[in-house]
Structure 1
Amino acid sequence: MSLPGVAAITVTDSRGQHELQTPPKRIVALNWDLAEQLLELDVVPVGVPNIKDYGEWVVKPAMPDGVDDLGTRAEPNMEKLAALKPDLILAATPQKDLIPRLESIAPVLYYSTYSKETNSAEMAIQNYRYIAEAVGKSTLAEQKLAAMDARFAELKTQLTTAFGEPLPKVAAMRFANKTSVYIYGENSTTEYALQKLGLQTALPQPATEWGIVQKRITDLQHVGNGYVLYFEPFNDAEALKKSVLWKAMPFVRLNHVNSVPSVWNYGGAMSIRYIGEGMAQSLLEIAPK
């Protein structure tokens, strides 16, 4: 039953529509992408898992001080979570099996983003709108999405000025180690950002659950005279640069390779903007003079 004078609100998640009896104020986000979505709506969650690693891998938006760390994403600390007395819990695929337990603590909204059958970027944007609806921030969400589109148009113009047309083909990836890489595929947020920048991928990959395909580093030779952008962190970069194999790659000899500052490639809607900004800036740094 809703409180006197407070109307219940109808919200949507990946399971359908739900009714929240009161507007949520104390929200726990059990996945990094969900925490990011809240922060990008100017809502600070009371609890988030694995905050230290969030700071290294997600980076933007920064996690404010005072947010409680709830352990791991797969196995959050239920006692600590309950002690926070949340009035809403946001969960994602890693917590799907925990939903019955979580619902004994507070209402749960579940958001699925990553699967082989869906476009991760489109799902992240849809979930951003759903979460905005739940926290009364729909107007802000639309403003930020419009600003993201405008920013991509601006970056595309900058790249065209620097490289001319057609724009170069780009392989966007992460290093798994010094001998293998993860290349982002057609349903990834990274591929979506490439397309918004007007870029084509140099190594097309099929859709997968997480939008990545692991390949041997030797497969990068097929990039040819295209460009390779790799996302940080990668602690073995200096050692790799000394390897004979790496130095023999065509794109390395052409200085068509650069790092991209850390950003979360499996994140929320605004991560798409940060991915695009990082890749564009990285390319502009090595553009022909």
Structure 2
Amino acid sequence: MKRTIVLAAAVLLAATACGTSEPAASGDGDNPSTAAAQPVSITDSRGKKVDLKAPATKVVGLEWGVVENLISVGVMPVGVADVKGYNAWVTAAKLDPSVKDVGTRGESSVDAIVALNPDLVITTSDESASALAQIEKAVPVLVVHAADAKNAIPQMKTNLELTASAVGKTEQAKQINAGFDKALADGKQKIAAAGKAGTSFTMADGYKQGSTISMRMYTSGSLLGAVGNELGLQNAWPAGGDKDYGLAPTDLEGLTKLKDGEFLYIANDTDGGDVFGKDLAGNAIWKNLPFVKTGNVHRLADGIWMFGGPKSTEQFIDAAVQAVTS
């Protein structure tokens, strides 16, 4: 199971952005009556310039965070990689039943993509160079940086802005990012008001392969780990994660280094099950972990995509605040 996973009309991205877009001649790019007539020129995360005759309207998304962002700004993609998986893991932005499946993430079908006659394909830097080369023979491709453990929240915002610029929805992206900032500030205030500021927390997911249970800890470099810190909590996982997603693999023995605190995790009954709440329920080591003994284990709701855009991350904010303050 794979879980790992700008502004065109008038605004240039900040220096931390993974891409930029050149302004259109008029600056009225979000006006439906004029946006269609304006060319779009974008520099993506590869440093590659992507030129479109007009904002894209028929778009294929090959990563779920990209798809979420497209729907969030008001553009329903015509094709998505792994529709079933998206519907199981992403509830912040619902797919229309008409959206076509174009294969799996990382192994999409070029034939299925081309058959949809899209204006643009959007994917992330996780896509292989060979796959990109094949797709680009037929369709322009915009690549956003998958994630950045040194800059997790700004990268999330940048990816939304870059995606929005390609479809003429820069103003919508601004509003969504502003809404995320407000949700984060409100969540921080609620945690402080409950006397929980500074509370130790860890965030995890896990899965079982045969008899082996593997876990991934969301360090301060991960998107959700960084958000937890911004909420006023303190990420207790001591080890660094990978350079992109900020994830640190561990096992049950690794959890014994943790002291008491809030243990948050995401599972999915339709894809991988719940290793913490079910598979480990009778395990002596698990039952004797400090946060388990004190009842500070919280399964968050299904369908909060851990590598998504502002809308999914707002869902995490709401769930984390409720778990910590209840």
2:134 counterpart letter in structure 1: R
CA distance in structure 2 between the partners assigned to 1:10 and 1:140 by the alignment: 19
Find the counterpart in structure 2 of residue 119 from structure 1: 151
Distance in 2 (CA, whole Å) between partners of 1:77 and 1:8 is 28
Q: Would you say 1:235 and 2:270 are equivalent positions?
A: no
Q: TM-score, normalised by structure 1?
A: 0.89
Show the counterpart of 1:86.
118
**Cα deviation 1:82-139 (Å, max 9, x = unaligned):** 11000111122343422222122221111122356x4333222111111111111111
Q: Distance in 2 between matches of 1:74 and 1:137?
A: 27
Once the two structures are TM-superposed, the CA of residue 179 in structure 1 deviates from its matched residue by: 4.3
| Runs of 5+ unmatched residues, structure 2 | 1-35
Tell me which residue corresponds to 1:265.
Answer: 306
Q: Give, in angstroms, the shift of residue 221 of structure 1.
A: 2.8
Shift of 1:142: 1.0
Alignment of 1:1-289 (within 5 A): 6-16=37-47, 17-97=49-129, 98-114=131-147, 118-162=150-194, 164=195, 166-177=197-208, 179-208=213-242, 209-233=244-268, 234-236=273-275, 237-262=277-302, 263-285=304-326
AA paired with 1:240? L
Change in Cα spacing, 1:75 to 1:179, as seen in structure 2 (3 Å) is: closer
Work out whether residues 153 and 226 of structure 2, in 8 Å CA contact, stay in contact via their aligned partners in 1.
Answer: yes
Q: 1:257 to 1:21 in 2, by over 3 A?
A: same
Distance in 2 separating the partners of 1:256 and 1:55: 29
Structure 1 stretch displaced more, 72-81 or 218-227: 218-227
Deviations 1:221-240 (A, max 9, x none): 33212111111224342342
Change (3 A) 1:261 1:205: farther
Q: Which runs of 4+ in 1 moved over 4 A?
A: none
Contact (CA 8 Å) 2:223, 2:245: kept in 1 or not? Answer: no
Name the structure with the higher helix share: 1
Pair 166,111 (structure 1): closer, same or farther in 2 beyond 3 Å: closer
Work out the percentage of aligned pairs sharing the same amino acid.
28
Contact conserved, 1:73 with 1:94, CA < 8 A, in 2?
no
User: What CA deviation, in whole Å up to 9, does each residue of 1:39-98 have, x standing for no partner?
Assistant: 111110000011101112223222221100011111211112111000111122343422
For residues 248 and 292 of structure 2, the distance between their equivalents in structure 1, rounded to whole angstroms, comes to 22
Q: Residue type of the partner of 1:214?
A: P
The letter of the residue matching 1:279 is A
Partner amino acid for 2:44? D
CA–CA distance in 1 between the matches of 2:143 and 2:278?
A: 41
**For the Cα contact (< 8 Å) 2:207–2:274, is it kept in 1?**
no
What is the TM-score with the length of structure 2 in the denominator? 0.79
Structure 1 runs not aligned, ≥5 long: none
Contact preservation (8 Å) 2:220, 2:235: no
CA contact (8 A) 1:24 1:88 kept: yes
1:135-172: CA deviations, max 9, x gaps? Answer: 1111111111111111111112222222x154311011
Count matched residues. 279
CA-atom RMSD in angstroms: 2.0
Instruction: Tell me, in whole angstroms, the C-alpha distance in 2 between the residues paired with 1:169 and 1:69.
Output: 41
Match in the other structure for 2:18:
none
Deviation at 1:269, TM superposition (A): 3.4
